[in-house]
Amino acid sequence: MTQVVAMRGVTKRYRTGRERINLRAAIPGRWGEPTRGDFHWALNDLNLELEAGGSLGLIGPNGAGKSTALKLVAGVLSPTSGTVTIRGRTASLIELGAGFHSDMTGRENVYFSAAVLGMSPRTLRSRFDQIVDFADIGEYIDTPVKRYSSGMMARLGFAVASHLEADVLVLDEVLAVGDAAFQRKCHARIAESRRQGVALLYVTHALYTLPMLCEEAILLAEGTVRYRGHPDDVVQAYERLTPSERVPVADGTYKVFTDIRTSPMTIQAGDSLDFDMELFLAEGLPHGHLMVTAADTQMKVHGAVSSRHAGIQFDQPGRHVVHCRIDELPLQPGSYVVYVAFFGDYRLPPLDDLRIFKLEVLGEPVEAAYGAVRIPASWSSA
Amino acid sequence: MEKSLRPPPTADLTPSVAESIPVDEQVLRSPSSLAGVWSFRWLLIQWSRRDFTVQYRQSLLGVVWAIVQPLMLLVLYGVIFTAFLGIKPDRGSYAVFALCGLVPWTFISSAIGRSSGAIAGNAGLLRQVYFPRAIIPLASTGVTVIDLAIATVVLLIAQGVTAGTIHLSTLALVPIYLGLILFMSGVSIVVSVIGALVRDIRFLIPLALQVGFLATPIMYPRRGTVPSRYSWIYSLNPVARTIEGVRQAVIDGTWPPAYGLVLLVGVGAVSLIVGLRYSAAVEERLPDLL
């Protein structure tokens, strides 16, 4: 296999401390390199490879060096030492709407942004309508973007960048913007690029998206690879990394699961699923309930079951052991994602404590196989 | 830890891998260079056009300002230099004489002025997307090239109206402008990069331009104004020589000497290459330092 991205022994340092004017920085060559001062090593001997058509997710705590790694791949930064080799064209979605100017119309900004991202005028002309369609901007394309809502800006920015001809797609958390419908659209668009053989390098804090988009993942900490493997394993390694800091964390998310075991996640259509969950609720946690959700690999939800509907709520601190059984899972054969989540009743969903499982349903589709749900039916004709 | 020594980012891992994907990664990843700028020429055009149009958005007169501005300067300085100071042009009408100096000078000063803060002003974009950094000051120069073209039309109309004829030798403006634009492109790149690293440049430049404006025979003729013992200083001033060439071509109807034109274009090309080389050597530090 061909490697499209290869980082070998990459280090990156930043100067820290008070800003000092360094006249020598204007001098070419070694004379201009800063020598004194405090340095922070954002990356410390980082090695990673991404093969053509592959997908790699990067997760890790803040300051682990994820964004620095992406910017090196995007060519925006240069390594302090080591090599970064890129074969092919990169499309970086590090920030949406790169180069948008508020006084210019949507159309003018599409042209400029496309040029800044390296799209050729011929490609842009042939894809312009697609871009506008995808962004769902309609008649507002000739309105200055300062009149746009932030959602419209994000849609237009994503539309331009995702229509680049690229061998590597570099994504940094940009999918976190926009509403649910737009996020689904973005996931679908990325999945489409992936089918066309575009490799993906993806940084996220939304851990539940990792198994959907990536075949492999890396846990970064302190500028180096801590763990590499299947996304599910890497997510778990991440959770083990800093358990104490994350109960509860500042943004109102809580960690409650201490253990989840499931029946085998490769089943025949119509088989049952079992979940054995262990939670520990810290003192002062709000009432909450458990939810098991089945979605397809593009985040489209097909169904969910909640403990609340069975009259089970969690309002006592301490340890809880919960069992959930789904008889005859009514999903057509295919690949799915099942996530188990604890939802606090008066809080935002604690997305940090989603557990994700990949589900394969085997067998013959029932009926015409439109949609994802098996609907048993009997027909008769007189 | 190894200290700040690194191979270029495009270094090959193994030759066999390099052969398997035939992409122009060298061009895509090259820092500022003629080839790098050429591969991003569309961006350069877009950027110049955007910066030109955006400055007139939400203004009533719009592009008319591109004409009004030099004309206002002409009237202001014209009154001071002719009516108050009694300066007489050594050829042609004062309006055309002064415009011949004012048009190239405005190009020079606004190219430097615009580019000095250009890279610093786009620091955010620099950290998001890769492109040859020299594109930014080149686009600033590009905007002033559009202004130069408009102002030159005004100059030629003034010449046509006051002298009744436009000489064939006016065509000499083509090589003169070519040299001037190339030269200022190189200067703009250097000024823009240094201006991003050492912000003092942006306070120094208006001062330097003020001195340059008065020390160059733009609004006054050299002959009969400058005492002869200082005349040699003016012979060394390349801008003074360029303006002299413009006046010869537009007002006198004589072709400036060919060696002068060749020299101008040659110096311009060298300037652009030096500018690009300089930018290529230091531009990778910019995202870290801005």
| Burial classification of residue B285, based on how many CB atoms lie within 10 Å of its CB (0-12 exposed, 13-18 middle, 19 or more buried) | buried
Per-residue pLDDT tens digits for B124-152: 888 888 888 999 999 999 999 999 999 99
Output DSSP code: residue B57. T
Looking at residue A246, its pLDDT comes to 41
Nearest residue on chain B to A110, alpha-carbon basis: B46
* pLDDT value at residue B10: 38
Interchain CB contact of A79 with B (< 8 Å): yes
Determine the residue among A80, A93, A222 to mutate to test chain B binding: the one whose Cβ has the most chain B Cβ atoms within 10 Å. A80
A38-51 sheet: strands from edge to edge? A38-51, A3-16, A81-86
Give me the interface pTM, i.e. the ipTM.
0.79
How far is residue B213's CA from residue B225's CA, in Å, rounded to a whole number? 15
Q: Per-residue confidence of chain A (382 residues) as pLDDT tens digits?
A: 688 888 888 888 887 766 666 677 777 776 666 666 677 888 888 888 898 888 999 988 877 888 889 888 888 888 888 888 888 888 888 777 778 888 888 999 999 998 888 888 888 999 999 999 988 888 899 999 889 888 888 888 888 888 888 888 888 876 666 676 777 788 888 888 888 889 999 888 777 778 778 889 998 888 888 888 888 888 877 877 654 444 444 344 566 787 888 888 889 888 899 999 988 877 666 577 888 988 887 667 788 888 888 888 887 878 889 999 998 888 888 888 888 888 765 544 444 567 888 888 888 776 665 678 888 788 898 8
All residues of chain B having their beta carbon less than 8 Å from the beta carbon of residue A53 are none
Specify the pairing of strand A3-16 against strand A81-86: antiparallel
What does pTM read for this prediction? 0.74
* Mean pLDDT of the residues in chain B: 84
With a cut of 80, say whether residue B200 has pLDDT above it.
yes
Angle (deg, nearest 10), helices B135-163 and B94-116: 170
Taking residues B217-240, report their average pLDDT.
83
Q: Phi first, then psi: give them for residue A290, nearest 5 degrees.
A: -105, 150
Decide: A33 and A7 in contact? Cβ < 8 Å: no
- Per-residue confidence (pLDDT) for residue A34, from 0 to 100: 65
Q: Which of A49-53, A169-173, B9-13, B166-170 has the lowest mean pLDDT?
A: B9-13
Residue B26 pLDDT > 60, yes or no? no
Q: What percent of chain B has pLDDT over 70?
A: 89
> Residue B12: its pLDDT value, please?
36
- Position B77 scores a pLDDT of 85
By the 8 A CB rule, do B148 and B107 touch? yes
A167 touches chain B (CB under 8 A): yes
> In this predicted structure, what is the pLDDT of residue B176?
95
The pLDDT tens digits for B61-101 are: 888 888 888 788 888 888 888 888 888 888 888 889 999 99
Would an 8 Å CB–CB cutoff place A17 in contact with chain B? no
**pLDDT level of residue B11 (50, 70, 90 thresholds):** very low
Cβ atoms of A76 and A9 closer than 8 Å = no
pLDDT for B29 beyond 60: no
The neighbour count for residue B225, using CB atoms within 10 Å, is 14
Tokens read off for A157? 């920015």
Cβ under 8 Å to A: B residues 196-235: 197-199
User: Would you state the structure tokens that stand for residue A297, as one six-digit string?
Assistant: 């690999």
